[in-house]
Amino acid sequence: MNIVAVYARIYAKAFTDALAAIAKNPWTLLLPMGIAVAGLVLVLLVFTVLGSLIGGFLAGLAQSAALSVYCFFLGGLVANQKVGLDQLKTSIGAYFWSWISIFFVLWIARILLGPVFASNVGIARAYDFVLIAALNAVPEVIYQKGTRGGLETIGRNFSFLQENPIEWFLPNAPLLAVVYAAQLFSVLSLTPLGIGGALVAGILLHVAMVFRGFLFEALDGSTHRQRMFRFRNG
């Protein structure tokens, strides 16, 4: 069996495992849209009441809590567990500090690079794209490896991407492009078409993220030679 066939089997298994996990917990298809809407409303309220300085700080805390919630339920899906909203309270704090640590590191980096970004908007956008690519496996590292420190998480992320650059980015490239485009057009229209489109996008994103979780699990801790042997004889 050649390399193309082996990795086609790995991707197919990750995808079918993702669909099976979601079928066990179909309500999670609404998670990305629900978290996005709740986060948008909360951020608008915070900025309106408290202003940009304090509001920006609290918005960062809210974003970390939202990502913690989503990673918690992603972890449950990849572990083939039955998850429910009764776990919401637990999910908020599960990976909260992991995300706070990441955002702190990125905040320091942006302060240091601030003068460069101020002089050239193109560089700032290129930096955002590079950041999305360079930290692409951070969510999976956080909820599958349980890393807490920002530098620790980034380091584990880099190690994984260095070991699996083609295997990981080949199926993730379309998602990477979509996420970058979403950053450029981050404000969603509140028209019915905009809401409907956001719901569909959220569902597709969720399927992709669960797929990524199973793919990360399959690739992490194994070498290319081990995968070739396992799937040739599996």
pLDDT at residue 163, as a whole number: 93
Ranking 70-74, 85-89, 170-174, 175-179 by mean pLDDT, the lowest is 175-179
Instruction: Please tell me the distance from the alpha carbon of residue 23 to that of residue 161, in angstroms, as a whole number.
Output: 29
Question: Considering the entire predicted model, what is its pTM?
Answer: 0.88
Query: What is residue 224's three-state secondary structure?
Result: helix
* Structure tokens that stand for 16 in this block: 């079918």
Q: How far is CA 160 from CA 16, 35, 156, 231, in A?
A: 23, 28, 6, 21
Residues 69-83 pLDDT 10s: 999 999 999 999 999
Ranking 88-97, 160-169, 172-181, 205-214 by mean pLDDT, the lowest is 172-181
Looking at mean pLDDT, say which of 5-9, 46-50, 144-148, 173-177 comes out highest: 144-148
Would you tell me how many other CB atoms lie within 10 Å of the CB of residue 220?
A: 18
Instruction: Please tell me the distance from the alpha carbon of residue 156 to that of residue 134, in angstroms, as a whole number.
Output: 12
Instruction: Please tell me the distance from the alpha carbon of residue 128 to that of residue 45, in angstroms, as a whole number.
Output: 26
pLDDT at residue 97, as a whole number: 96
Closest CA to 173 of 214, 202, 208, 198: 208
**pLDDT above 90 for 214:** yes
Residue 5: what residue type?
Answer: A
Question: What is the average per-residue pLDDT within 75-100?
Answer: 96
Ranking 6-10, 105-109, 174-178 by mean pLDDT, the lowest is 174-178
Q: How far is CA 80 from CA 24, 74, 140, 159, in A?
A: 8, 10, 15, 26
Q: How far is CA 140 from CA 122, 125, 153, 209, in A?
A: 29, 24, 10, 9
pLDDT at residue 189, as a whole number: 44
Question: What is the average per-residue pLDDT within 31-53?
Answer: 74
Contact 206, 31 (CB under 8 A): yes
* Beta strand spans in the chain (E): none
**Mean pLDDT computed over every residue of the chain:** 85
**pLDDT above 70 for 223:** yes
Q: How far is CA 32 from CA 13, 24, 36, 38, 200, in A?
A: 23, 17, 6, 10, 10
Query: What is residue 41's three-state secondary structure?
Result: helix
pLDDT at residue 175, as a whole number: 78
113 or 192, which is more confident = 113
Instruction: Please tell me the distance from the alpha carbon of residue 96 to that of residue 36, in angstroms, as a whole number.
Output: 17
**pLDDT above 80 for 193:** no
pLDDT at residue 220, as a whole number: 94
189 or 158, which is more confident = 158
Could you report how far apart the first and last alpha carbons of the chain are, in Å? 11
pLDDT at residue 83, as a whole number: 96
